Every structure is written in structure tokens, then in C-alpha cells.
Copies of this chain bind each other. A is one copy, B any other.
Amino acid sequence: MTDRNLTDAPVALTTTMLLEHWQGHRRLTRRVIEAFPDDQLFTFSAGGMRTFAQLATEMLQMIEPTMKGVLENDWSPGGYGRPGPTTKPDLLDAWDAADRALAESWPKITPERFHESASAFGLWTAPVITTLMYLVDNEIHHRGQGYVYLRMLGVTPPSFYQRRPQLAEPGEEER
């Protein structure tokens, strides 16, 4: 995705729609964390991969440094890579704190900033929207891996299409 004239181009997602879309995914990921047996969340993995606690910690630790980079062009890693929570309640608390940081930061991003190029963490140079989409995609990608872990543990994962703040009855839920 590169810079382009946005004035007349048809819109797929407004910035508010993208935030809501991501927040829906974050609610689902939270349910996946909750679905893990307390111990397996921190111990189970397959194929030599990371535990789901480690994957979820990566997801949540990306948010604050990314928002700081987007808002202040300070791309220092912040808390990213620090040892994560070691209990499910602490992981859920950290998850919720990242949600609050996202909700508070997002409205401060100017419309132009989404399409400015930035050297994110010195790792890649891309429009800010590309970096934000990377975080959403990374969450979906690793959460899908959590689904495999849950199935291997004999636990039925939450429905992929349930993204609302409140869990509706299945019949009321959009798929």
C-alpha cells in the first residue's frame, strides 16, 4: 500500500471502522485467552512454537509502542519484548490496558498521518496504515494458531465470528 490520492478514491474502511474492526478482533482474542486452561496457557505449544501466552503478550506489547510511534514519531520499543505476565488474570489485565491505550490513542491520529510514510522501529518503512494493518493481521494470524492449541487440548474455541462487546445468543450474532 502506497501513498495515493485519497480525495476521490472509493472508501473501503474509514479510520473509525478500522478501529472498531480491530476492537472486535481484540474481544475475540481475549475470549481465546480465557478459553485456555490456566496452566496450558503458559506451557502448551506445538511444533516448537511459542505458548499462547507468549503470542498474546507479543500482540499486546506491540500496541503502546506503535501508538507512540504513530503519534510522536518515537519508535523506541518501550515495553515490547519485556517478560510478560505469568498468570491468566495478569495477562487479561495487561490485555485490557492495551485496549485502553488503543482506544485513547486512535482518535488522536490525524487523518493525514494514516498515509504518511514512517520507519517503524527501524524495521520497515511504510505508510502508517500498513503498520497498523500489520498489527491487526498479526493478531488474527497468531490467534488462529491458538485455535489449533485449544483443539489439541480438547477445548472448543470461541466462534471466529463473535466479535461483539457482549456475547449475543448465536441466533442474534452476525457471522
Contact = CB atoms under 8 A, between A and B. Distances in A.
Contacts of A140: 137, 140-141, 144
A129 B13 contact: yes
Nearest to A112: B10
Given A137-B140, A161-B134, A15 B21 contact: no
Q: How many copies does the complex hold?
A: 2
Among A4, A11, A14, A130, which residue has the most Cβ atoms of chain B within 10 A?
A11
> A-B pairs with the 4 shortest C-beta distances?
A47-B151, A144-B144, A10-B111, A9-B14
A166 interface: no
Contact of A174 (B46, B124, B160): B124
Given A4-B16, A12-B12, 18 more contacts: A1-B17, A4-B14, A9-B11, A10-B14, A11-B13, A11-B15, A12-B13, A12-B17, A12-B114, A13-B129, A47-B150, A48-B151, A124-B161, A130-B174, A134-B161, A137-B160, A140-B141, A141-B147
